[in-house]
A and B are shown apart, each in its own frame.
Chain A
Amino acid sequence: MSGVRVLVGTKKGAFILTADGKRKNWEVSGPHFGGWEIYHVKGSPADPNRLYASQSSGWFGQVLQRSDDGGKTWQVPGGEQMPEFTGRPGQSNKFVYEGEVGTHMWYDGTPHPWEFKRVWHLEPSLTDPNTVYAGVEDAALFRSTDGATTWHELSGLRHHGSGSAWQPGAGGLAVHTVLLDQTNPQRMFVAISAAGVFRTEDGAQTWRATNQGLRSQFIPDPTAEVGHCVHRIAMHRSRPQVLFMQKHWDVMRTDDGAESWREISGNLPTDFGFVIDVHAHEPETVYVVPIKSDSEHYPPDGALRVYRSRTGGNEWQPLTNGLPQRDCYVNVLRDAMSIDALDPCGVYFGTTGGQVYGSPDGGDSWSPIVRDLPAVLSVEVQTLS
């Protein structure tokens, strides 16, 4: 029997929401790691019982958690007491930049040494449960091939010639999105706030900035090669040449693997927002949640609306059935939307007000799965068979 497992990271712990394929009745477990910020929880496509969670705290730093039973139990890889553990203990939260650390640009324009702060995003390999990528703050990409027991920087990204010019956005300087190309294991995309999109064709050894067509008024040269505050990029697995982007301002798409981007904001009430995702079975159906900005960061008119385009952008339809249409002033953060692979396709998103909404019919109708969690940082869904 099919079902779904929604993995929710919040400011104060992780929660796991499960339902059968009807997606009407939900079980909620958690908080896991109560009191810690859980930036991201994600399952392995190669083994759905293998989950990874990024746990962090302003006091005690970064911790990596792993589950081998779908979130029932968790362990810190290599965290067991000696002498039971015979591998390299205590390294699962050791993120050390490779080579000369160097500097990026600080908020005031001065050079600032790279400092690891936390893991924003975990992207498990499509084929190997023990291989997982970590996008971190300050912006860098790490990889583990031993189930998150040890990590090594893929330093070609940070040593891209532009690295010294990367500058943090309001939320920091972080690799927040990692997209793997299922048709080509050597190819991946990352997105960095506030630098832009980068693509590798050689398994992360070298990278190219792929931001042609982006225009950002908040940098001295609006069409510069880097410096764009990309909030999120999304891909349908069947079409790795087509990417969709929610930028600080502007919703964008590329049809040539990020060689060039064009705007598809169309009739959106505002083209600012954080999340963007693609329907599981309709590669031209895209979802965004417009957010009022620059400083408000809540839905326009206090009405929480998901917008759906069935035409790959430009023509957007508000989806409101079941969502609050008055007095709603929450935000939906960049990693807080996900899509299941059932038919009809399910869509999920979480808010800074602690609600997780789900739609079992591609966005036509919505209902809250939970209403009162801590502020939601991330939402991922696993489709279980």
Chain B
Amino acid sequence: MIRVALPAHLRTLARVDGEVMVELNRPPTLGAVLDALEQSFPVLQGTIRDHVTHKRRDFVRFFACEEDLSHEPPTVSLPPAVVNGTEPLLIIGAIAGG
């Protein structure tokens, strides 16, 4: 199981508290986690990445193990600590505005 930490607005939308857990049945890539997350929580479709192109929304960021995965392709493998559940994949609403 992979731990995913959602930003507050998406936790509210998904009606969850704290982290969510997603299970993968394929290699643990960033794209696989997002697919599984949207499968479990359809309400999140279109809020993290585009429905059709799967392009990350401009003000959403993906962090893991103090690394920024935001600009990596969806095929990028997740760090081992995220795969074994020691660390969460962080989905962040970028700091913007005043």
Contact (Cβ within 8 A) B57 A61? yes
Are A59 and B45 within 8 A (Cβ)? no
Provide the bound-state CA to CA distance between A90 and B41, in Å: 8
Which single residue of chain A is at the shortest CB-CB distance from B8?
A: A35
Interface pick from B46-54, B62-70, B71-79: B46-54
**A91 and B45 contact, Cβ closer than 8 Å, known pairs A60-B60, A60-B93:** yes
The answer on a CB contact under 8 Å between B52 and A89 is no
| Contact yes or no, B13 A63, CB < 8 A | yes
Q: Count how many chain A residues have C-beta atoms less than 8 Å from C-beta atoms of the other chain.
A: 22
The proximity string for B residues 18-38 relative to A, scoring 1 for CB distances below 8 Å and 0 otherwise, is 000000000000000000001
Residue in B closest to A79 when the chains form the complex, CB atoms: B43
A71 contacts chain B at the CB level, 8 A cutoff: no
Q: Smallest distance from the beta carbon of A291 to chain B beta carbons, Å?
A: 26
Establish whether residues A58 and B42, one from each chain, have CB atoms under 8 Å apart when the complex forms.
no
The answer, yes or no, to whether B94 is at the interface (CB within 8 Å) is yes
Question: In the complex, what residue of chain A is closest to B15 when comparing beta carbons?
Answer: A81
0/1 string, A87-105, CB within 8 A of B gives 1? 0011101101000000000
Interface centre among A60, A78, A94 (most CB of B within 10 A): A60
Considering the chains assembled together, what is the distance between the CA atoms of A36 and B57 in angstroms?
16
Of all chain B residues, which has the CB nearest A89? B42
A35 touches B43 (CB 8 A): no
- Chain B's closest residue to A62 (CB) is B46
Do the beta carbons of A63 and B45 come within 8 Å of each other?
no
Say how far A130's CB is from chain B's closest CB, in angstroms. 19
Closest 8 CB pairs of A and B: A90-B42, A79-B43, A89-B42, A90-B45, A60-B47, A59-B59, A59-B93, A93-B46
